[in-house]
Structure 1
Amino acid sequence: MTPTALAVDPQDTMPLMGEAAPSPAGPISEQELAALPAPPEIPLPRTAQVLRFSQRQIEFVFGWQRRLGDTFRFNGIVPGRPVITAHPDHVKSLFTAKPEDAPSLTGESPLRPIVGPNSTLTAIGERHMRQRKLLLPSFHGEAIARYMQMIEDAAHREIDRWPTGKPFSLAPRMQAITLDVIMSGIFGIDGTPKPGTAEWGLRTAVRGLVEASTAPGAKIAEFMNVGRDEPVGLTRIGMEILDRPTYAVIAKRRKAPDLDSRTDIMSMLMRAETEDGERMDDHELRDELLTLVLAGHETTANSLSWTWERLVRFPDAHERLIHAVRADDDADTWIEATINEGMRARPVIPIIGRRVTKPWQLGEYGVPAGTPITMSILLVHHREDVYPDPYSFRPERWLGAKPGTYTWIPFGGGIRRCVGASLALAEMRVVLRAMAQRLDLEADRPEPEHAQHRNVTMIPARGARVVARAA
């Protein structure tokens, strides 16, 4: 690969970042609501909307945005005929709202029967804030710094195993790296556990469930669990397989003589106390740990996979990154810009939401109390007024610019912003650098990969297939 100059082409005068025109949003009175029209609705039967949204969300939301505008109503699996919005001011109104005015829809998420009701992800109100306060210290700067060498070692071990000169999928390779990080950083399990141990059972169960989640029947299992507090069907069987080693590892760690000095996140959570001296019981701990495993492990892996899927189809961006890393020419800046652009272009979680408890204005429209309002991260990230040339992969748009609080939202926002964001970004920086140093990658075919929707995530349909050669 021949590196190109890092400087942006001086002939390229297109602005790299912009700003959306203001749009009023926030809680309103019943009288104000009566004066506003309702958002336009998608004129399709509910079954057709559910199927199209769950199978081809990108085409679905972009297509109806073109027809109906930035705010429209659809009829999906979430009760209450949700509204989809794509305006940053609407996002801001929800992220900055009082928790009781706009509680998160994750309390109704299909992940609830999987990670349980006690997780920071699925709890709402005071329960959520309690769990969040217990979890946050585990992800402060010093804690993340301790994991950096471990992440780098895991990345290089995995890269050593990759084939060269023939196509392979990056997604499972990325998952292998992030699983190593989860096992070590979250559970304090270093290396490959001995077969037959609880640690070995945990690792094996996690890998098996992630693989099973792409099976043909997985989507049916998801629909069966919507609106439930406890898993049913195949999901219940899978969770029983995962719960056994999880609780065994928890019990073993509670008896560990060095518990008070351990720095892994599980041990820190066991020691964490509320202001009233409360600690997490085994069920709460299980819910938080599985949230970190399933949410942190897979979302980070697929963010990396999507970023490379984009890079290998945009040669200028790819070559600029390679040159920056190998020549050590402002590498940190280009790595950060590439990550920001990857998460903008292909957010792994494409939509998030709140259920407002008061009437709410969304630009020219109003919705009554009880309405689910979903923010399409995909649509926000592809606004042409904010991101000119939004369908191109242009890391240079981030040079000298920081992600906007309400225009770059792959981790959500407000009090619901992902607590593991700092660890995820640290992993991505290390892995991206290691791959750019050691490998020349190219796409196995020129066409971009479609998105496959799995539970609440969006993943590369073919796993981000590439051909690798040693640098």
Structure 2
Amino acid sequence: MAATTVSPHGIVRVPHWHLTPPGTASGIGSVADRGPVAVPDARQRFALGGLSRSLHFLRHQGDVLFADAVRAGERDDGVLRYALRGAPRPIAVLYRPDHIKQLMTADEAITPSSTRLSPLAPIVGPDSVLTAVGERHRQQRALLLPRFHGKAVAAYQASIERATEAGLRAWPTGTPVPLTGIAQQITLEVIMSAIFGIADPSEVTPAEKSMGAAILRLMRLSSTPLGTMTQVINMRSSRPLGLLKLTLALVDRTIYRVLAERRAAGDHDSRDDIMALLLSAQTADGEPLSDSEIRDELMTLLLAGHETTSNTVAWMFERLTRNPAVYAQAREAARDGDDAYIEALVNETMRVRPVVPFVGRELLAPFDFGGHRVPAGHTALVSILLLHHRDDLYAQPFDFRPERFLGVRPNPHELMPFGGGVRRCLGAPLAVAELQTVAREILRRVQLRTHDRPGETPRYSNVTMIPARGGLVYAESID
């Protein structure tokens, strides 16, 4: 790994963006006297061409984006352009709040979600709330939204607390443990409770247990180099190909087994879980949803409902264990019942390490972003990662400082870990409730070893940015 160097002009040359030292500006967004500016050493990508360059972008996109955004800093037009091998359309990357607001509030008829072009499309299928657009998306969102808001989220609190308690009991002390593994078990139980109405894990049927295990295997595959190559192979296809097709066939078999089990029980009219809702739902023509339509919705909720949350937990403690003073303050807040600080901690984690670093829209008409014209036919990607590291929004953006969110109501176009506009993640309230509960209990009951080792390398898996070592932590004791 290359060492960090500082030029006489205040340029801090870092090997990777995530290794930027505290107190360093990003160079993105103009502010006076911002001090030393970090520039990731992404020069090697210019020696690459074609497929190799595209693979490098997929695996090191943060370094490429930070370096290119700093180069564009003098004009700060907030638009970066890329043409990647295998990508269905040219890409325009946005990272200015005014441009982002313009895109997020535009007519969806000319800026539909680009999820159908993303690596998720072959996995979640064409009938998912993620990939649907227009009226179909509105109907699906209206159907599902009540299950992730208000009283519904409050009803899941017991599941969150029970799953967290089970995760802490299974946590070994005296050995390094990847926190994603523990967090995945917690969040999987919570989303299974929401989807299938399982009040007690001992009530899970063999079919449901097999489905959960198959989902975990799919997630683990997606975070490997083989998973990245599979992503490239499937980039232009709306249907899974190759290894992904084989893996999904195994997952789908378990989902359809659970569906058959529930249909045979015939009690969905008397239940209030999400699967019962889908089994009772009808299309605009008054027909029941097909098994494939229900499968797509379930796959979306299972993946989006716990992969992003579990990795946010891992990133949170990856950051805390490298910032001992913040960790001590967070532990004190958890013990004192300071919910405001825990909320700020969650927001700061999602700012510095957004698990979903991009959201995208297709441009069916030309757009003018502050004088920068992007033709129709492009995909506009909002770089949440760059947005969250702008010097004019967040002073010393590479520092981990939860207090920056105390008493602050974040602007939805300046902090957007759940996306924005009409496509904002419908499960965000449940995710936040999980994150706050899990964070509070781990802080209150687990004594973790802090250290000064470099931050974990971000690994890009499908549309997510996850810690390469799973958020490796060392528990000295658990109460």
Q: Output the amino acid matched with 1:163.
A: P
Partner of 2:51: 47
Partner of 1:325: 334
Partner of 1:6: none
Q: How far apart, in 2, do the equivalents of 1:241 and 1:145 lie?
A: 34
1:290 and 2:313 are equivalent in the alignment = no
Q: How far apart, in 1, do the equivalents of 2:362 and 2:336 lie?
A: 49
Change (3 A) 1:117 1:313: same
Shift of 1:195: 9.5
Shift of 1:137: 2.0
Query: 1:352 aligns to what SS in structure 2?
Result: strand
Partner of 1:105: 114
Partner of 1:428: 435
1:224 and 2:233 are equivalent in the alignment = yes
Quick one: which of 435, 449, 458 aligns to 1:442?
Answer: 449
Which structure has more relative contact order (CA 8 Å, sep 6+)? It is 1
Per-residue CA distance 1:251-284 (angstroms, 9 max, x = gap): 2212334322322221123234567655432211
Q: How far apart, in 2, do the equivalents of 1:219 and 1:263 lie?
A: 38
Query: 1:174 aligns to what SS in structure 2?
Result: helix
Deviates most, 42-51 or 459-468: 42-51
Partner of 1:467: 474
Q: Which structure 1 residue ranges, 5 or more long, are not aligned?
A: 1-13, 22-41
TM-score, normalised on structure 2?
0.85
Per-residue CA distance 1:42-88 (angstroms, 9 max, x = gap): 97744344122211121111011111243221122433321111101
Q: How far apart, in 1, do the equivalents of 2:146 and 2:95 lie?
A: 33
Per-residue CA distance 1:337-362 (angstroms, 9 max, x = gap): 00000001000011111121111111
Quick one: which of 152, 161, 180 aligns to 1:152?
Answer: 161
Quick one: which of 65, 68, 73 aligns to 1:64?
Answer: 68
Q: How does 1:180-329 map to 2 (within 5 A)?
A: 180-192=189-201, 197-273=206-282, 277=286, 279-328=288-337
Q: How far apart, in 1, do the equivalents of 2:245 and 2:266 lie?
A: 34
TM-score, normalised on structure 1?
0.87
Per-residue CA distance 1:345-389 (angstroms, 9 max, x = gap): 000011111121111111231111112111100000000100111
1:75 and 2:79 are equivalent in the alignment = no
Q: Output the amino acid matched with 2:274.
A: I
1:358 and 2:365 are equivalent in the alignment = yes
Q: How far apart, in 2, do the equivalents of 1:55 and 1:353 lie?
A: 18
Q: Output the amino acid matched with 2:366.
A: P
Maintained 8 Å contact 2:321/2:451: no
Shift of 1:443: 4.3
Give me the CA root mean square deviation: 2.2
Per-residue CA distance 1:208-242 (angstroms, 9 max, x = gap): 22222233421111111112121111111111111
Per-residue CA distance 1:95-121 (angstroms, 9 max, x = gap): 101111111110111111111000011
Deviates most, 355-364 or 170-179: 355-364
Change (3 A) 1:133 1:280: farther
Q: How far apart, in 2, do the equivalents of 1:347 and 1:341 lie?
A: 10
Q: Output the amino acid matched with 1:419.
A: L
Q: How does 1:337-416 map to 2 (within 5 A)?
A: 337-416=344-423
Q: How far apart, in 2, do the equivalents of 1:139 and 1:268 lie?
A: 13
Shift of 1:190: 4.7
Q: How far apart, in 2, do the equivalents of 1:206 and 1:274 lie?
A: 27
Maintained 8 Å contact 2:88/2:117: no
Partner of 1:457: 464
Q: How far apart, in 1, do the equivalents of 2:168 and 2:241 lie?
A: 38
Maintained 8 Å contact 1:72/1:85: yes
Partner of 1:11: none
Q: Output the amino acid matched with 2:360.
A: G
Change (3 A) 1:291 1:195: closer
Query: 2:390 aligns to what SS in structure 1?
Result: coil
Q: Which structure 2 residue ranges, 5 or more long, are not aligned?
A: 1-22, 31-44
How many equivalent residue pairs? Answer: 432
Change (3 A) 1:274 1:401: farther
Query: 2:142 aligns to what SS in structure 1?
Result: helix
Shift of 1:316: 2.4
Q: How does 1:83-162 map to 2 (within 5 A)?
A: 83-162=92-171
Query: 2:198 aligns to what SS in structure 1?
Result: coil
Maintained 8 Å contact 1:441/1:467: yes
Query: 1:458 aligns to what SS in structure 2?
Result: strand
Maintained 8 Å contact 2:448/2:473: yes
Query: 1:200 aligns to what SS in structure 2?
Result: helix
Q: How far apart, in 2, do the equivalents of 1:325 and 1:273 lie?
A: 45
Maintained 8 Å contact 1:46/1:75: no
Shift of 1:192: 4.6
Query: 1:217 aligns to what SS in structure 2?
Result: helix
Give the share of equivalent positions with the same residue, in percent.
44
Change (3 A) 1:267 1:444: farther
Q: How far apart, in 1, do the equivalents of 2:214 and 2:266 lie?
A: 27
Q: How far apart, in 2, do the equivalents of 1:100 and 1:341 lie?
A: 34
